[in-house]
Amino acid sequence: MPRMTMIEAIRSAMDVAMGRDDDVVVFGEDVGFFGGVFRCTHGLQQKYGVSRCFDAPISESGIVGTAIGMAAYGLKPCVEIQFADYMYPAYDQIVSEAARLRYRSAGDFTCPMVIRMPTGGGIFGGQTHSQSPEALFTHVSGLKTIVPSNPYDAKGLLIAAIEDPDPVIFLEPKRLYNGPFDGHYDRPVTAWSKHELAEVPDGHYTVPLGKAVTRREGSAVTILAYGTMVHVALAAAEDTGIDAEVIDLRTLVPLDLEAIVASVEKTGRCIVLHEATLTSGFGGELAALVQEHCFYHLEAPVMRVTGWDTPYPHAQEWDYFPGPARLGQALRDIMEAR
């Protein structure tokens, strides 16, 4: 089976979806002729023509707003916001329109669309190329929110998202585009070619939305993670020797609560891990759900390891990024807590 980077897997997903369904259209800033600033749409315009894959004006509300109109017509737009940090001008269209169209029209109009956006830090992206705004989507009823952590999932989830009848926010951790990253910034980067989850079928397959997966089985503590943080969690378990169970949530809404509860009931401890800022982050929701559903199994308070409640800094990247050292300390702390 071929090995793909996450970029290639995402491109392959759109290629497969466009090949199977003429109603799938792809557009965004620099997405057409050039093939995207991250190469995720490279070659699609040549293959499918300018009416299926095209460049858009620099207007996020225009991109999402026109895509909503297209979806209402019956197309399945898969649009790109160049960086998740730049989705704010489209937020009104996403929250007030895409998320609510089916509800407010009682199913008269629907919005089957995907909004792809590169997310997350760890790349010296500074304040406006590093943000993780997933909580601004998970808080909105009517949206589904996905964060893949590897090429296999990225392709299968993206195809599933394009085929899904509801609007989907597809957050791509750009730090994972070319290889897995576990937060050990001082070690040489590895490529996806050495990773088993980079084995990606050429053709059509899906990874179901709303299903988490266990990346490492363990008995001592459950780590709930998604995106880049899955790799950080695996590294911290390795570094500390603590037998952590690592759950890769993959879909944040709808959430696989059953998988979370089963794991925490087994381990009795839970750490929630994300890059996004702490206060009102998605980790708050996860922690609340765990205490609500696993209260009598918990042997320690649920802990959150996250980005600080500050804008994402540039020079202090590694003091901000919740890497394996910080998670390792939390793992040791939670094992001693009682």
Partner 1 sequence: MSSDKAGSAPVVTQPLQFHVPRPASRPGEKPDFSDVVIPKAGSVARPPVDVDPKDIRDLAYSIIRVLNREGEAVGPWAPDLSHDDLIRGLRHMMTLRTFDGRMQMAQRQGKTSFYMQHTGEEAVSCAFRIALQPGDMNFPTYRQAGLLIAHDYPLVDMMCQIYSNERDPMKGRQLPVMYSSKEHGFFSISGNLATQYVQAVGWAMASAIKNDTRIAAAWIGDGSTAESDFHAALVFASTYKAPVVLNVVNNQWAISTFQGIARGGSGTFAARGLGFGIPALRVDGNDYLAVYAVAQWAVERARRNLGPTLVEYVTYRAGAHSTSDDPSAYRPKHESDDWPLGDPLIRLKQHLIAVGAWSEERHKQAEAEILATVIAAQKEAESFGTLHSGGKPSARDIFEDVYAELPPHLRRQRQQIGV
Point out the residues that are catalytic: 129
Residue with tokens 């702490």: 278
Q: Which of 70, 74, 72, 51 is nearest to 62 (CA)?
A: 70
Measured from the CB atom, the residue of 7 and 252 that comes closer to partner 1 is 252
Measured from the CB atom, the residue of 92 and 319 that comes closer to partner 1 is 92
Mark residues 105-124: x for contact with partner 1 by CB under 8 A, - for none.
Answer: xxxxxx--------------
Q: How far is the CB of 89 from partner 1 (least distance, A)?
A: 7
Asked if 127 touches partner 1 (CB under 8 A), the answer is: no
**Binding residue for partner 1 (CB under 8 A) from 208, 254, 288, 309?**
254
Residue with tokens 């059953």: 258
**CA 124 to CA 137: how far, in whole Å?**
24
Helix 324-336 / helix 228-240 crossing angle, nearest 10 deg = 60
Asked if 69 touches partner 1 (CB under 8 A), the answer is: yes
**Binding residue for partner 1 (CB under 8 A) from 2, 33, 47, 103?**
103
**Binding residue for partner 1 (CB under 8 A) from 163, 166, 172, 317?**
166
Asked if 247 touches partner 1 (CB under 8 A), the answer is: no
Measured from the CB atom, the residue of 107 and 188 that comes closer to partner 1 is 107
Phi-psi region of 256 (alpha: psi -120 to 50; beta: other; left: phi over 0): beta
Measured from the CB atom, the residue of 33 and 124 that comes closer to partner 1 is 33
**Widest CA span in the chain:** 62
Measured from the CB atom, the residue of 79 and 330 that comes closer to partner 1 is 79
Q: What's the full length of the chain, in residues?
A: 338
Window contacting partner 1 (CB under 8 A); options: 50-58, 128-136, 225-233, 263-271: 50-58
Q: How far is the CB of 51 from partner 1 (least distance, A)?
A: 5
Q: How far is the CB of 86 from partner 1 (least distance, A)?
A: 14
80, 117 contact by CB (below 8 A): yes
- The string of DSSP letters for 93-112 reads IIIIIITTHHHHTTTSS---
Q: How far is the CB of 84 from partner 1 (least distance, A)?
A: 19
**Cis status of the peptide bond prior to 254, with omega within 30 of 0:** yes
Cβ-Cβ contacts under 8 Å for 262 (sequence gap 6 or more): none
**Binding residue for partner 1 (CB under 8 A) from 13, 31, 70, 270?**
70
**CA 234 to CA 251: how far, in whole Å?**
19
**CA 302 to CA 5: how far, in whole Å?**
34
Decide: helix, strand or coil at residue 262: helix
Window contacting partner 1 (CB under 8 A); options: 5-13, 30-38, 91-99, 174-182: 91-99
> Which residues contribute to the site for partner 1 (CB under 8 A)?
25, 51-52, 56-57, 59, 61-62, 65-70, 72-75, 77, 89, 92-93, 96-97, 100-110, 141-142, 144, 164-166, 210, 253-255, 257
